[in-house]
Structure 1
Amino acid sequence: MEITEHIDALHLEGTRLAEAAARTERSAPVPTCPEWQLADLLRHVGHVHRWAGAIVSRGLRAPLDEAGARAAIGPVPPDAALLDWYREGHAALVDILTAAPADLECWSFLPAPAPLAFWARRQAHETAVHRHDADAAAGVPGPVVDTALALDGVDELVRGFMTGSRSILRSDRLRTLQLRATDGAGSWRLTITQEAPAVTTGETSAPADLTVTGPAHELYLLLWNRLSAERAGGIKAVGDQDLLGLWSDAAAVRW
Structure 2
Amino acid sequence: MDVSRHIQVVSDEGLLLVRAAEAAGLGAKVPTCPDWEVRDLVRHTGMVHRWATAFMAERRTEFRLGGGLPELDGAELLDWFREGHAALVDTLTGTPPDAECWTFLPAPSPLAFWARRQAHETTVHRTDAESACGDTVSPIDAEFAVDGIEELLLGMHSREKSRVRAEEPRVLRVRATDAPAERTWTVRLSEGPPVTERGATAAADCEVSGQAARLYLALWNRLPFPEVSGDPALAALWRERSAIVMR
Same fold (TM over 0.5): yes
Q: Distance in 1 between matches of 2:114 and 2:237?
A: 29
Task: Tell me the CA shift for residue 167 of structure 1.
Answer: 0.6
1:196 matched residue in structure 2: 193
Moved over 4 A (4+): none
1:77-122 CA distances to partner (integer Å, 9 max, x unpaired)? 2333211111111111001000000001000011111111110000
Which residue is 2:165 aligned to?
Answer: 170
Q: Which residue of 2 aligns with 1:218?
A: 214
Superposed, 1:136-147 pairs within 5 Å as 136-147=131-142
CA distance in 1 between counterparts of 2:77 and 2:24 reads 12
Greater mean alpha carbon deviation, residues 108-117 or residues 180-189: 180-189
Q: Note the residue ranges of structure 1 that are not aligned, 5 or more in a row.
A: 230-234
Matches within 5 A, 1:118-133: 118-133=113-128
Take 1:4 and 1:148, find their aligned partners in 2: how far apart are those partners? 15
In structure 2, distance between residues paired with 1:65 and 1:213: 36
Q: Does 1:249 align with 2:240?
A: yes
In 2: Cα distance, 1:211 partner to 1:10 partner = 31
Whether contact under 8 Å (2:53, 2:87) holds in the other structure is yes
RMSD between superposed Cα atoms in Å:
1.4
Provide the residue aligned with 1:232 in structure 2.
none
The percentage of aligned residue pairs carrying the same residue is 46
3-state SS, counterpart of residue 169 of structure 1? coil
- Structure 2, unpaired ranges of 5+: none
Change (3 A) 1:33 1:117: same
Partner of 1:228: 224
Who is 1:9 aligned against? 9
Partner of 2:28 in structure 1?
A: 28
Alignment of 1:71-220 (within 5 A): 76-184=71-179, 185=181, 186-204=183-201, 206-220=202-216
- Aligned-pair CA distance for 1:64: 2.1
2-side partners of 1:164 and 1:135: how far apart? 30
Secondary structure of the 1:213 match is: strand
Distance 1:56 1:124 in 2: 15
Could you say what secondary structure the match of 1:226 adopts? coil
Alpha-carbon shift at residue 44 of structure 1 (Å) = 0.5
Q: Distance in 2 between matches of 1:203 and 1:209?
A: 12
Partner-residue secondary structure (3-state), 1:149? helix
Shift of 1:181: 0.7
TM-score (norm 2): 0.94
Distance 1:147 1:65 in 2: 33
What TM-score, normalized to structure 1?
A: 0.92
Write the letter of the residue equivalent to 1:238: S
- Per-residue deviation at 1:252? 1.5
Q: In structure 2, what is the Cα distance between the partners aligned to 1:19 and 1:25?
A: 10
Instruction: Kindly tell me the number of residue pairs found equivalent between the two proteins.
Output: 244
Distance between the aligned counterparts of 2:41 and 2:195, measured in 1? Answer: 32
